[in-house]
């Protein structure tokens, strides 16, 4: 096992991420759709069980979002070696789902601005709202409320759920994509193949007055020296602290999840 790990790390020292930010996301295969359904149900069950706001109220609705981290072409070699090497660590995070050509990061939609039955609600820290007599098909998310650690974000357009768990009253939202290579310090407003994208606010602006998400959420993992003038989206599993492509397990990915 140690020999395999050393070989993978040796390969990574010769492979780097490209700077191509073109995003192409193919449709999921039937096997991948099954994996996604199983993952989402397990994630939802864990979230509901551990939710502090869990109650027997029939009015509660849980909102879950996911961001897709995509790659293609020459980046596939880099990412496949990286993710295979740190597969256990990535899966242990509980909110990362790796697929062929992409990964998804799932998270409760805390502080989401939600429209339900024509009324505006603000989701709590667990991504929960209480909307009486709700029609789940009509629930939309239009932005994120300003908090101490992030600025107000108005989405480019309302987001409708792309998956329902009606028995549990859980809605899942696709919140767009970002390339595996590239920094959240820069201005990104990348979109998935369906033209969906959420935000064009750089990390270092989104968390003012804090310098970045690392400081705002006090994460600061020991892999790399903390930078205060860019997003720590490169200190994930396997990082050499000098480049992009090490997003999963980074401070930024943990803050997102």
Q: Is 53 helix (H, G, I), strand (E, B) or coil?
A: coil
Confidence of residue 232 (pLDDT cuts 50, 70, 90): confident
Give the containing element (helix H, strand E) for 92: helix 87-92
Give me the pLDDT at residue 112, please: 92
Q: What is the DSSP string of 183-248?
A: -TTS------TTS-------HHHHTTTSSSHHHHHT---TTSPPPSSS---S-STT--SSSS---T
Give me the pLDDT at residue 113, please: 93
Rg over alpha carbons for the chain, rounded to the nearest Å, is: 18
> What digits encode the pLDDT tens for the residues 70-111?
776 666 777 777 777 888 887 777 788 888 778 888 999 989
Higher pLDDT among residues 13 and 135, named by residue: 135
Give me the pLDDT at residue 73, please: 65
Higher pLDDT among residues 35 and 155, named by residue: 35
Query: Tokens at residue 248, please?
Result: 């999963």
Distance CA 177, CA 190 (A): 6
> What digits encode the pLDDT tens for the residues 111-134?
999 999 989 999 998 899 999 888
Residue ranges of domains in the chain: 2-200
Beta bridge partners of 106: 66
Distance CA 135, CA 186 (A): 38
Give me the pLDDT at residue 148, please: 75
pLDDT above 70: percentage of residues in the chain: 74
> What digits encode the pLDDT tens for the residues 147-193?
777 776 778 788 999 888 888 889 999 988 877 665 555 434 333 33
Q: How far is CA 115 from the centre of its chain?
A: 22
Query: Tokens at residue 176, please?
Result: 């767009």
Distance CA 135, CA 117 (A): 7
Confidence of residue 231 (pLDDT cuts 50, 70, 90): confident
Whether the CB-CB separation of 149 and 217 falls below 8 Å is answered with yes
Query: pTM for the complete prediction?
Result: 0.77
Higher pLDDT among residues 151 and 39, named by residue: 39
Give me the pLDDT at residue 183, please: 55
Question: Closest Cα to residue 180, out of 237, 111, 130?
Answer: 237
Burial of 99 (0-12, 13-18, 19+ CB in 10 A): middle
Long-range contacts for 36-43 (Cβ within 8 Å, ≥24 apart)?
A: 36/97, 36/99, 36/104, 39/97, 39/106, 40/64, 40/106, 40/163, 40/165, 40/172, 41/165, 43/94, 43/95, 43/106
């Amino acid at each position: 096992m140690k020999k395999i790990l050393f070989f993978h790390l040796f390969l990574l020292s010769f492979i780097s991420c490209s700077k191509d930010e073109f995003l192409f996301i193919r449709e999921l295969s039937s096997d991948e759709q099954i994996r996604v359904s199983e993952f989402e149900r397990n994630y939802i069950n864990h979230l509901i069980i551990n939710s502090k706001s869990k109650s027997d109220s029939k009015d509660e609705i849980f909102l879950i979002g996911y961001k897709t981290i995509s790659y293609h072409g020459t980046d596939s070699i880099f990412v496949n070696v990286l993710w295979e090497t740190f597969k256990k660590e990535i899966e242990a995070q509980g909110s990362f789902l790796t697929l062929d050509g992409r990964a998804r990061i799932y998270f409760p939609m805390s502080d989401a601005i939600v429209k339900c039955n024509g009324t505006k609600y603000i989701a709590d820290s667990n991504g929960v709202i209480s909307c009486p007599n709700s029609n789940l098909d009509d629930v939309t998310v239009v932005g994120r409320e300003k908090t101490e650690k992030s600025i107000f974000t108005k989405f480019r357009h309302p987001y409708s759920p792309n998956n329902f768990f009606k028995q549990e009253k859980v809605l899942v939202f696709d919140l767009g994509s970002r390339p595996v290579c590239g920094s959240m310090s820069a201005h990104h407003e990348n979109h998935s193949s369906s033209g969906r994208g959420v935000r064009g606010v750089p990390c270092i602006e989104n968390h003012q007055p804090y310098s970045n998400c690392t400081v705002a959420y006090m994460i600061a993992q020991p892999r790399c020296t903390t930078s205060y003038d860019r997003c720590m989206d490169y200190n994930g599993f396997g990082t050499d602290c000098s480049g992009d492509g090490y997003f999963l397990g980074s401070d930024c990915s943990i803050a997102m999840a």
